Amino acid sequence: MKNLPLIDVAIILMYLAGMVGVGVYFSRKNSRESSNNAEQFTTASGQIPGWAIGMSIYATFLSSNTFLGVPGKAFGSNWNSFVFSLSMPLAAWVATKFFIPFYRNTGEVSAYTNLENRFGPWARSYAVVCFLLTQLARMGSIFFGIALSLQALTGYPMATIMVVVGICIILYTVMGGMEAVIWTEVVQGVIKTAGAVIILWLVVDGMSGGVGKIIDIGQADNKFSLGSYAPDFSQPTFWVILLYGFFMNLNNFGMDQNYVQRYHTTTSIKEAAKSVWLCVYLYVPISLIFFVLGSALYAYYQANPEMMEAVRLQAAADKLPGGTQEAIQQLAATLKPSDFGDKVMPHFMVTKVPAGLLGLIVAAILSAAMSTISSGMNASATVFSVDIYQRYIKSNLTDKQSLRLLYVATTVFGLMGMVTGISMIGVKSILDVWWVLSGIFAGGMLGLFLLGIISRQTRNVEALTATMIGLLVILWMTFSAQIPDSLAYLRSAFHPNMIIVVGTLTIFLVGILLTKIRGKVPENAEEQTVTGA
């Protein structure tokens, strides 16, 4: 590592070795106890305490998209994105009231098995495809985020960093299964939280004028705003982000295999519910710290214009690889804070964080990435094994064959996440990319799931028709900007963050409407499971 002192290199290597060591430990433990099987790999045999699951879910939420993307977003704009966090309690209440008891009572490790029981194989397959695409988008954006920061520190190519980090994640996730994922995330949750607090302290401590000066600059440039309260759904207003956050968090807690799988790792419904609320109690205030950090960095760089200029030049050079110095300087002069917000915290770390602490903060960023990627790999492998391979290829697998399949699938999804991350090199904002992609893939399956849970009279044909209409709406909203100017009246008037909201409501409401049109079914039909058209 070119730019890091030896003590920081040692801390980082110790952290990586420790994470791999956890995987080795649980692999040997399970072998000694003869519990190294598919159930242990996917649900840790349902013996994990609720507080550990809560820390694990919190660590999954607090990814490198939060660690780097949120301060970058606050640096470039304001606290509008914090409204996403404010929506979590309501989504958590719905999840603990309805979703967790539902999943625990079904006993199905996959979140999507019920969709087949309700509407047929197509519904399950559709949700699985949406989930896997969401995971690739999530893992790719997180791989990109970690590489972005470490490139500034080490000078190594981003692709190389993704491969090295990815191999470490694959090793401990494959060897230790869900148990290793959960306990490493408990540690990672503590490390990444400490890292954020340390950086914030360093920024405030180095700011001439302290907290007062940060507040003055932030207020002058409207950095603490939660967004406009106007009823405008074409802009990222308070209401748009609140709706997006509620539907996205409802999808996370209610449909995302990453979280549903954890509900089966606890000893009871009560423990699973406690884990969700612990995540909320931790994430909401900690996410606020990251927004405060972004605003503090903005004030710090405003007070040190030479540092602001250095980041501008760095961002311009990244946008013009091989460009002349004159061209880079001309481009840098046009860049706004929103164009280079993601690069500010890595730059601050390189220039202002002392030796020793830098290694700990890099470990925190690694923790932010590794916790979410490892759980995504495990969940994706589980879904592939249960919902694709055993459903369509070979159902009567032995336990040894199931475990081998999970090993291979975990590795493959880890590698695919790396490739996705490499393809994202050069994007403007990590957080924006992740929010748009997740809204596209998640909107359809949440609407279908709600339709199946709430409307017991809806049949296969209504659900399929509603889903197809919802998909058309999602695709129209997603690619609306590509419509030529001559047909501008056909463009969507909604902000991209509304895709998941409109897509979910379209599928749900169209399904309800079609059910009403068909007419009332016999009373005893509500007790039957609809599996065909």
Residue 41 belongs to a domain: no
Confidence of residue 529 (pLDDT cuts 50, 70, 90): very low
For residue range 378-425, list pLDDT tens digits in order. Answer: 888 888 888 888 888 887 878 788 888 888 998 999 899 888 888 777
Confidence of residue 527 (pLDDT cuts 50, 70, 90): very low
CATH number of the CATH domain containing 198: 1.20.1730.10
Confidence of residue 508 (pLDDT cuts 50, 70, 90): very high
CA triplet 294, 72, 428: central angle to 5 degrees?
Answer: 165
Q: CA-to-CA distance for 362 and 150, rounded, in angstroms?
A: 8
Q: What is the pLDDT of residue 34?
A: 53
Q: What is the pLDDT of residue 530?
A: 41
Residue 510 belongs to a domain: no
Taking 80 as the threshold, does the pLDDT of residue 110 lie above it? Answer: no
The neighbour count for residue 214, using CB atoms within 10 Å, is 23
| Cα–Cα distances in angstroms (integers) from residue 344 to residues 12, 205, 209, 363, in the given order | 21, 17, 20, 18
Confidence of residue 513 (pLDDT cuts 50, 70, 90): very high
The neighbour count for residue 533, using CB atoms within 10 Å, is 11
Of these ranges, 41-50, 441-450, 506-515, 517-526, the one predicted with the greatest mean pLDDT is 506-515
Confidence of residue 7 (pLDDT cuts 50, 70, 90): confident
Mean pLDDT of 506-519: 89
Taking 50 as the threshold, does the pLDDT of residue 533 lie above it? Answer: no
Residue 353 belongs to a domain: yes
What is the overall mean pLDDT for the chain?
82
Answer with the residue of higher pLDDT: 172 or 219. Answer: 219
How much is the pTM?
0.81
Taking 70 as the threshold, does the pLDDT of residue 430 lie above it? Answer: no
Domain extent at residue 377:
6-27+48-426
CA triplet 434, 437, 442: central angle to 5 degrees?
Answer: 110
Confidence of residue 433 (pLDDT cuts 50, 70, 90): low
Torsion angles phi and psi, residue 187, rounded to 5: -65, -45
Mean pLDDT of 71-79: 89
Q: CA-to-CA distance for 179 and 163, rounded, in angstroms?
A: 24
Residue 287 belongs to a domain: yes
Answer with the residue of higher pLDDT: 294 or 66. Answer: 294
Residue 518 near residue 104, CB atoms below 8 Å: no
Residue 42 belongs to a domain: no
Residue 430 near residue 141, CB atoms below 8 Å: yes
Of these ranges, 64-68, 184-188, 230-234, 345-349, the one predicted with the greatest mean pLDDT is 230-234
Q: What is the pLDDT of residue 526?
A: 45
Q: What is the pLDDT of residue 88?
A: 94
**The tokens of 282 are what?**
């931790």
Q: What is the pLDDT of residue 441?
A: 64
Answer with the residue of higher pLDDT: 443 or 377. Answer: 377
Torsion angles phi and psi, residue 420, rounded to 5: -60, -45
Confidence of residue 442 (pLDDT cuts 50, 70, 90): low
Confidence of residue 284 (pLDDT cuts 50, 70, 90): very high
Could you tell me what percent of the chain has a pLDDT over 90? Answer: 18
Residue 210 belongs to a domain: yes
Residue 389 near residue 38, CB atoms below 8 Å: no
The closest alpha carbon to 171, from 156, 187, 184, 188, belongs to: 184
Mean pLDDT of 421-434: 64
Could you tell me what percent of the chain has a pLDDT over 70? Answer: 89
The closest alpha carbon to 121, from 4, 428, 129, 102, belongs to: 129
**How many domains, in total, are found in the chain?**
1
Residue 513 belongs to a domain: no
The neighbour count for residue 387, using CB atoms within 10 Å, is 25
Q: What is the pLDDT of residue 296?
A: 93
Answer with the residue of higher pLDDT: 300 or 175. Answer: 300
Mean pLDDT of 38-49: 70
Residue 249 belongs to a domain: yes
Residue 55 near residue 185, CB atoms below 8 Å: yes
**The tokens of 400 are what?**
């040894």
Taking 50 as the threshold, does the pLDDT of residue 532 lie above it? Answer: no
For residue range 236-268, list pLDDT tens digits in order. Answer: 899 999 999 999 899 888 888 878 888 888 888
